[in-house]
Amino acid sequence: MRINKKNIHVYLQQYHLGMLNEADSVELMQFLALHPEYLENEFSLPEINEIFKNKKSLKKPNEIKLINFVEGNLSRVEENLIKALAENDKILEKEIKLFKQARLIPDKSVLFPHKQRLKKKDEIFIFPLIRWAAVLAGILFLGYLFIRLNDNIFRNTQKTTVANKSNGVKSLPSFTNNPIIQTPHDVVQQNQKTAHKKKSKIINSAQSPLTQSPHQPEVERIENSFELTASEPNSIASKEEAVKNNFTSETKISMEDPQVITYHSIESVPVEADTDTSVTSQIMHNVGLLEKMKSEMEKIKIPKPVFFASFREE
Amino acid sequence: MTISEYNQCVDLYSDGLYRFALSLVKLEQDAEDVVQDCFEKMWKKHDEVSFVKAKSYLFTACHHTAIDLLRRKNKLIQIEIEKESDIQENYIQIHGKKNIKEVLFSLLEKLPHAQQSVLLLRDYEGYAYDEIAQITGLSVEQVRVYIFRARMKMREMIGKMENLI
């Protein structure tokens, strides 16, 4: 045993200061057990309550702390503490440097080569506008065609009516000189009456050898048209169909145009100075002449044959 | 998102996205396809994605697209296996490398794919942990752990390299 009565006070002092290692402390406790008188004197062991407050400053920061330092996750106080430690500790400084190097640095020279291919152009938004413009243009064109067609038909109707009036013909059930109708049913009735009258006259005059004219084929065509309208005089439905067949174009278009839907009579149509006669009106003019000739021929008295009279007298 | 904003996104983010994709898929052609795919996806949803969130959307799409691509090419299986021998291999390969950058990128290839994405997003784009978690679909704690592990491995490699020098 190294502890004796001469050096016991040194060991006791070192023990108070906490400088004794574990082996020396054990030896001191054994000596004091043998010599308890040293416990009662001034070198008796006091209670140690004091704590070393600067432990943190002595500790080395661990790896997690260093990584957080490099990542910037620490508070400013902690960062300053590590910086202060690193200034006096070269090993710590080197450790921080290694962690700072362990960061990936992007190569800014590497660029995406096809940026222009990715970009979108404004044409995508212009395309619908073009499409709408095309639709609008189509609608306008159709509207223009509709108005133009109506206008032409109205003019043709006016011309035909004026021509008929100038020739003294009120109405004929043909496509070329069709009167503007009031109602479909009225047209059926009017056409039926007119058709019967004119048909009988024209057929009589056309069949007569004395009334052969260069317009004979036209007379036959009119006759056919009469047959279309008045083939079944007792059936109203068939008459209406016949009328519709003859006036197809005018009837449909006039129903769509509000100006034509307001029906008006022949007399209400303004008279134009145009005296251009259609083929039908010429035929009817010839028919009038033929009728005059027929009436004159009836006035002429043909004398009876003599031999016939004498035979009777005998 | 308007067309001009979308085109602005192309100017702002396509380069970063391309570098990110290139670091993951390694091949230029694949990286270009990934970037193009990401922008196409964003354009399809340009009514929903605002200009502010465009960058996050693009990197999220890039991360998933790149992973899908790697899975299709069966690369992920090789990358996911972490072995000690990889570190040793890299240690041997260090002799042939010119600088720390090459060493780090060679090490990056050996990391698990999730760690690669996390590390690239952190170092290349400077994303915060919560943003990285949102992009990769990981938790913030997972992101923190992945970054810590990656940094430790890299520090180890650089330390060995410096000792050799």
Q: Which fold has domain B1-73?
A: Rna Polymerase Sigma Factor; Chain: A (1.10.1740)
* Nearest chain B alpha carbon to A99: B155
Q: What pLDDT sits at residue A18?
A: 78
Nearest to B119 among A104, A112, A121 (CB): A104
* Nearest chain A alpha carbon to B125: A106
In the structure, what pLDDT confidence band is assigned to residue B74 with cuts at 50, 70 and 90?
A: low
- Give the CA distances from residue A105 to residues A69, B101, B121, in Å, rounded to whole numbers and listed in that order: 18, 8, 11
B83-165 has CATH 3.40.50.970 classification: no
* Three-class secondary structure of residue A45 per DSSP: coil
Q: What pLDDT sits at residue A129?
A: 74
Instruction: Mark yes or no for CB contact B151/A101 under 8 Å.
Output: no
- Give the CA distances from residue B93 to residues A80, A207, B114, in Å, rounded to whole numbers and listed in that order: 38, 123, 24
- Give the CA distances from residue A181 to residues A158, A164, A187, A214, in Å, rounded to whole numbers and listed in that order: 13, 15, 6, 32
Interhelix angle for B129-136 vs B113-125, to 10°? 130
DSSP H/E element including A272: none
- Give the ipTM of the model, two decimals please: 0.72
Do the two domains B1-73 and B83-165 of this chain adopt the same fold? Answer: no
High-pLDDT (> 70) share of chain B, %: 82
Tokens of A114: 């096809």
Average pLDDT, chain B: 80
* Three-class secondary structure of residue A252 per DSSP: helix
Q: What pLDDT sits at residue A141?
A: 93
Dist CA A62 CA A58 (whole Å): 12
Q: Is the dihedral of CA A50, A54, A58, A59 positive or negative?
A: positive
Contacts of B91 (CB under 8 A, 6+ apart): B157, B160
Q: Smallest CA–CA separation between A108 and chain B, in Å?
A: 8
The pair phi, psi for residue B163, each rounded to 5°, is -65, -40
In the structure, what pLDDT confidence band is assigned to residue A203 with cuts at 50, 70 and 90?
A: low
Asked if B35 reaches chain A (Cβ–Cβ under 8 Å), the answer is yes
Q: Smallest CA–CA separation between A110 and chain B, in Å?
A: 7
Which is more confidently placed, A30 or A44? A30
Asked if B91 reaches chain A (Cβ–Cβ under 8 Å), the answer is no
* Three-class secondary structure of residue B76 per DSSP: helix
Dist CA A22 CA A26 (whole Å): 6
* Burial (Cβ within 10 Å: 0-12, 13-18, ≥19) of residue A183: exposed
Nearest to A115 among B10, B154, B155 (CB): B10
Dist CA A139 CA A92 (whole Å): 84
The pair phi, psi for residue A208, each rounded to 5°, is -70, 135
Size of interface A-B (CB pairs under 8 A): 77
* Nearest chain A alpha carbon to B151: A102
Dist CA A33 CA B113 (whole Å): 67
Instruction: Count how many Cα atoms sit within 13 Å of the Cα of residue B87 in the half-sphere of its side chain.
Output: 13
Q: Give the long-range contacts of residues B47-52, CB within 8 A, separation 24 or more.
A: B47/B1, B49/B1, B50/B1, B51/B1, B51/B5, B51/B8, B51/B9
How does pLDDT run across A72-115, given as a tens digit for each residue?
888 888 888 888 888 888 888 888 888 888 888 888 888 888 88
Tokens of B137: 């679909």
Instruction: Mark yes or no for CB contact B19/A106 under 8 Å.
Output: yes
Dist CA A105 CA A45 (whole Å): 62
* Three-class secondary structure of residue B128 per DSSP: coil
Tokens of A292: 């005059």
Nearest to B154 among A102, A105, A110 (CB): A102
How does pLDDT run across A266-285, given as a tens digit for each residue?
444 444 444 455 667 777 77
* Burial (Cβ within 10 Å: 0-12, 13-18, ≥19) of residue A84: exposed
Nearest to A119 among B10, B148, B159 (CB): B10
Dist CA B144 CA A90 (whole Å): 28
Dist CA A227 CA A202 (whole Å): 13
Amino acid at B130: D
How does pLDDT run across A103-124, given as a tens digit for each residue?
888 888 888 888 888 887 765 5
Instruction: Mark yes or no for CB contact B123/A98 under 8 Å.
Output: no
Dist CA A184 CA A191 (whole Å): 10
How does pLDDT run across A140-193, given as a tens digit for each residue?
999 999 988 888 777 777 766 666 666 555 544 444 444 554 555 666 677 777
Dist CA A254 CA A257 (whole Å): 5
Q: What is the CA radius of gyration of chain B?
A: 17
Dist CA B112 CA B153 (whole Å): 12
Q: Smallest CA–CA separation between A76 and chain B, in Å?
A: 18
Q: Smallest CA–CA separation between B122 and chain A, in Å?
A: 9
Asked if B162 reaches chain A (Cβ–Cβ under 8 Å), the answer is yes
Residues of B in contact with A99 (CB under 8 A): 151, 155
Residue boundaries of the structural domains of chain A: 55-101, 127-269
DSSP 8-state assignment for residue B52? T
Residue boundaries of the structural domains of chain B: 1-73, 83-165
Q: Smallest CA–CA separation between A98 and chain B, in Å?
A: 6
Instruction: Select from A107, A112, A115, A119 the residue whose CB has the most chain B CBs within 10 Å, as the one to mutate to test that interface.
Output: A112
Instruction: Count how many Cα atoms sit within 13 Å of the Cα of residue A31 in the half-sphere of its side chain.
Output: 18
